[in-house]
């Protein structure tokens, strides 16, 4: 008898939680494009996110902002290096990174946000793309290929171009911060939304 009462109470509470989640999902107007501020191509409102997921969504958002900062810093750093005699093709690589990394990271941010808020099915692709990106960010923070100024080249840059060395150090630290934030979000999403 006691187990029947406990089961019915648990089932009622689960049903009420699910109905509250469905009500909150239905109230979101996905056609209210309000983000990014000047372009306004997606709907984003942190207040519509359930409180336990807000930190996850904020870390996704901050990762997308940091990749913009990284690509701009990378363009400046590689332009200065090219001015001092390094390969000029590094500037082209920097622009290629800007036009590829920013949309990919923005896609990951929006996919994770919308998956957390409304449709957990969207998180399946998010999880796998995020794993690939984390591995890429770790690799790019280490190596010195194309336009990446990884930890490997820092000693050389500090010796001959100290300002570029400082910029490269900031680039690598931004990458590691992105890895931390993305890993945190991935871990929370993987454990919360199955």
Give the separation between CA 94 and CA 92, rounded to whole angstroms: 5
Give me the pLDDT at residue 9, please. 45
Give the separation between CA 179 and CA 165, rounded to whole angstroms: 21
Share of the chain above pLDDT 90, in %: 58
For the segment 15-58, what is each residue's pLDDT rounded down to a tens digit?
544 544 554 445 788 888 889 888 889 999 999 999 999 999 99
Q: What value does the mean pLDDT of the chain take?
A: 85
For residues 154-175, give the mean pLDDT: 91
Give the separation between CA 141 and CA 24, rounded to whole angstroms: 40
For the segment 70-111, what is each residue's pLDDT rounded down to a tens digit?
999 999 999 999 998 888 899 999 999 999 999 999 999 999
Give me the pLDDT at residue 170, please. 94
Token pair of 90, please?
A: 């590094």
Torsion angle defined by CA atoms of residues 151, 153, 155 and 157, in that order, rounded to the nearest 10 degrees: -120
Task: Compute the chain's Rg from CA coordinates.
Answer: 21
Give me the pLDDT at residue 8, please. 52
Give the separation between CA 92 and CA 44, rounded to whole angstroms: 32
pTM of the model: 0.80
For residues 147-167, give the mean pLDDT: 90
**How far is residue 173 CA from its own chain's centroid?**
15
Token pair of 170, please?
A: 């900031």
Q: Give residues with Cβ within 8 angstroms of 188, minimum separation 6.
A: 53, 55, 56
């Amino acid at each position: 008898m006691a187990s029947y009462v406990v089961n019915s109470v648990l089932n009622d509470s689960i049903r009420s939680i699910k109905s509250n989640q469905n009500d909150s999902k239905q109230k979101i107007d996905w056609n209210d494009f309000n983000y990014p501020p000047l372009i306004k191509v997606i709907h984003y409102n942190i207040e519509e996110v359930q409180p336990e997921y807000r930190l996850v969504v904020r870390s996704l958002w901050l990762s997308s902002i940091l990749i913009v900062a990284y690509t701009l810093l990378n363009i400046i750093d590689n332009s200065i290096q090219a001015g001092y005699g390094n390969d000029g093709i590094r500037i082209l690589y920097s622009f290629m990174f800007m036009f590829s990394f920013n949309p990919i990271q923005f896609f990951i941010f929006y996919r994770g946000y919308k998956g957390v808020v409304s449709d957990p099915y969207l998180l399946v692709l998010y999880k796998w793309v995020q794993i690939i990106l984390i591995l890429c960010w770790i690799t790019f923070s280490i190596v010195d290929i194309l336009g990446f100024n990884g930890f490997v080249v820092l000693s050389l840059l500090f010796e001959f171009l100290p300002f570029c060395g400082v910029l490269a150090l900031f680039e690598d630290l931004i990458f590691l911060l992105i890895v931390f934030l993305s890993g945190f979000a991935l871990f929370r999403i993987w454990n919360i939304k199955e």
